[in-house]
C-alpha cells in the first residue's frame, strides 16, 4: 500500500509474521477527484467484484501455505518478504 499502513504494521515490526491484502479502491475517502479539489464531489467507495473474488482466493491460498508443515519455495519467500518489510518500516522517514 503506497498511501499508508494497516493494523499488521505494528506486528510485523515486532517480528510477527503477518499477511495482508489491499484492494484498488474507487472514490478513495469518498472523493470523486483528487484530494483536495474544490471542484470535486463525494461518491461511494467501491472495489471491483473480480478484485474481491481474487482476494478471497489469495487469502485462502495464503492460509493453506502458512499452515502447511512442508517446506515450499512460496513459504520460504513469505519469510524473506517479511524481513524486507521490517527493514523498510524501521528506516527513518
Structural domain boundaries enclosing 16: 8-90
Q: Is residue 1 part of a domain?
A: no
Q: Is residue 2 part of a domain?
A: no
pTM above 0.75, yes or no: no
User: Under 8 Å CB-to-CB from 80, ≥6 apart: which residues?
Assistant: none
Q: Is residue 40 part of a domain?
A: yes
* Cα 6 off chain centre by: 8
| Domain count across the chain | 1
Q: Is residue 3 part of a domain?
A: no
CA 23 to CA 79: how far, in whole Å? Answer: 22
pLDDT in tens, the chain (93 residues): 556 677 888 887 888 877 678 888 899 888 999 888 888 899 999 999 999 999 999 888 877 876 776 777 766 766 676 677 777 778 876
Helical axes 49-67 vs 73-90, angle rounded to 10°: 110
Amino acid at each position: 500500500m503506497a498511501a499508508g499502513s494497516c493494523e499488521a504494521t505494528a506486528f510485523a515490526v515486532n517480528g510477527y509474521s503477518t499477511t495482508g491484502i489491499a484492494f484498488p479502491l474507487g472514490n478513495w475517502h469518498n472523493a470523486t477527484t483528487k484530494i483536495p479539489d474544490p471542484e470535486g464531489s463525494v461518491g461511494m467507495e467501491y472495489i471491483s467484484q473480480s478484485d474481491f473474488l481474487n482476494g478471497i482466493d489469495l487469502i485462502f491460498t495464503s492460509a493453506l501455505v502458512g499452515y502447511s508443515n512442508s517446506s515450499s519455495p512460496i513459504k520460504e519467500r513469505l519469510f524473506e518478504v517479511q524481513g524486507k518489510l521490517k527493514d523498510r518500516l524501521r528506516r527513518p522517514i
